[in-house]
Amino acid sequence: MAMTLEQFLRHATHQLAASSPSPRLDAEVLFMHVTGLSRTALITRALEPVSAEIEKRLQELLVRRVRGEPVAYLTGRREFWSMELRVTPDVLIPRPETELLVEQALALIPEDSDWTIADLGTGTGAIALAIAKERPRCHVIATDASETALSVARGNAQHLNIENIEFRHGVWLTPLAGSESDMIVSNPPYVRVGDPHLEQGDVRFEPQTALVAGADGLDAIRCIATDAASHLRPGGWLLFEHGYDQAQAVRTLLETHGFDRVVSFRDAAGHERVTAGCSYD
Ligand SMILES: C[S@@+](CC[C@H](N)C(=O)[O-])C[C@H]1O[C@@H](n2cnc3c(N)ncnc32)[C@H](O)[C@@H]1O
């Protein structure tokens, strides 16, 4: 006899319990992905039977999830800043904590300004698209060294109908040659080589080039910080997301390379995760 929707969700939750930190949520997200049902429908239709076809498709996804594949790669989607972004294994899955970088950037960009803002290492385009959406008069330049990441980001811009954004390929500041920005933001790779977290959870399936940045995790931030001031107008802003224990090192890098008013911002857990500096006037 076919399982009801609720019975299937319980069965799936049990199957995921050992491999996922959020087994019930994962089961629900995968169920909604395969069936197209809303969260409300999961409750109102809890006693309806699950067809053999749906059960088979879900079972295939559950097996992959048990092996550790991130839910976002299984569904091909992840929400960021209330936008649904397409996600593939070529890009880092946008993290909720990166919204802190967006919030602090927006706090510095006047509402009606027509600034040029660069997002270096854009991945899915998460940060660039959020800023472009919130500041429609600004021009956002989203860059990445990965062509495949840029095509994912371009697709997201089209899907979201966000037009005040341009995509450029190249390493860190190179794609900005010849242009002067009012702000540069980046969530670059900042994990140390050999960090044990790289062997755990979702990050095992994400591109290493999006995560790892040298022995101290600061190679990318150092590279960007060293040259950023020459790509900013005087008084322009540079903002980084970084690791919870890297704020002091990032502040020192900014102060050494032409920035003042250097300040770090804490996330909801109290960790300094974003640092900003203003290029000398
Ligand atoms: C931590 S991910 C951030 C992705 C996205 N901005 C986000 O916050 O979800 C870092 C991104 O930097 C890109 N990247 C790595 N090395 C780079 C380089 N040398 N130049 C430009 N981009 C690079 C990666 O391809 C990846 O998309």
Q: Which residue puts its alpha carbon closest to atom 6 of ligand 1? A: 122
> Considering the chain, what percentage of its residues have pLDDT values greater than 70?
100
Instruction: Note the maximum CA span of the chain.
Output: 73
pLDDT at residue number 184: 98
> Looking at this protein, which amino acid is placed at residue 170?
G
pLDDT at residue number 185: 98
Q: Which residue puts its alpha carbon closest to atom 13 of ligand 1? A: 121
Ligand 1 mean position to 92 CA, how many Å? 8
CA–CA dist 169, 167 (Å, integer): 7
Is residue 281 scored above 80 in pLDDT? no
With cut-offs at 50, 70 and 90, classify the pLDDT of residue 179.
confident
Mean of per-residue pLDDT scores for the chain: 96
CA–CA dist 56, 89 (Å, integer): 23
- Interval 67-126: pLDDT, tens: 999 999 999 999 999 999 999 999 999 999 999 999 999 999 999 999 999 999 999 999
Count Cα atoms within 13 angstroms, Cβ side, for 219.
14
Residues flanking ligand 1, CB < 6 Å: 91-92, 94, 98, 120-124, 126-127, 144-146, 149, 171-172, 187-189, 209-210
The residue count of the chain comes to 281
Q: How far is CA 206 from CA 20, 238, 278, in A?
A: 16, 26, 32
- Are the CB atoms for 231 and 173 separated by under 8 Å? yes
Count Cα atoms within 13 angstroms, Cβ side, for 170.
11
pLDDT at residue number 178: 84
Q: How far is CA 145 from CA 27, 150, 167, in A?
A: 34, 8, 11
Ligand 1 mean position to 111 CA, how many Å? 27
Q: Which residue puts its alpha carbon closest to atom 8 of ligand 1? A: 187
Phi-psi region at 53: left, alpha or beta (left = phi > 0; alpha = psi -120 to 50): alpha
Ligand 1 mean position to 70 CA, how many Å? 19
Q: How far is CA 2 from CA 6, 7, 10, 224, in A?
A: 11, 9, 14, 57
Count Cα atoms within 13 angstroms, Cβ side, for 85.
30
Is residue 1 scored above 90 in pLDDT? no
DSSP 8-class letter at 19: T
pLDDT at residue number 53: 95
- Is the pTM of the predicted complex or chain greater than 0.85? yes
Ligand 1 mean position to 265 CA, how many Å? 21
Ligand 1 mean position to 112 CA, how many Å? 28
Residue 266 forms beta bridges with which residues?
A: 272
- Interval 211-223: pLDDT, tens: 999 999 999 999 9
By DSSP bridging, strand 272-279 and strand 232-241 are antiparallel
CA–CA dist 155, 160 (Å, integer): 9
Mean pLDDT of 127-133: 98
CA–CA dist 165, 141 (Å, integer): 6
- Interval 185-241: pLDDT, tens: 999 999 999 999 999 999 999 999 999 999 999 999 999 999 999 999 999 999 999
With cut-offs at 50, 70 and 90, classify the pLDDT of residue 2.
confident
pLDDT at residue number 56: 96
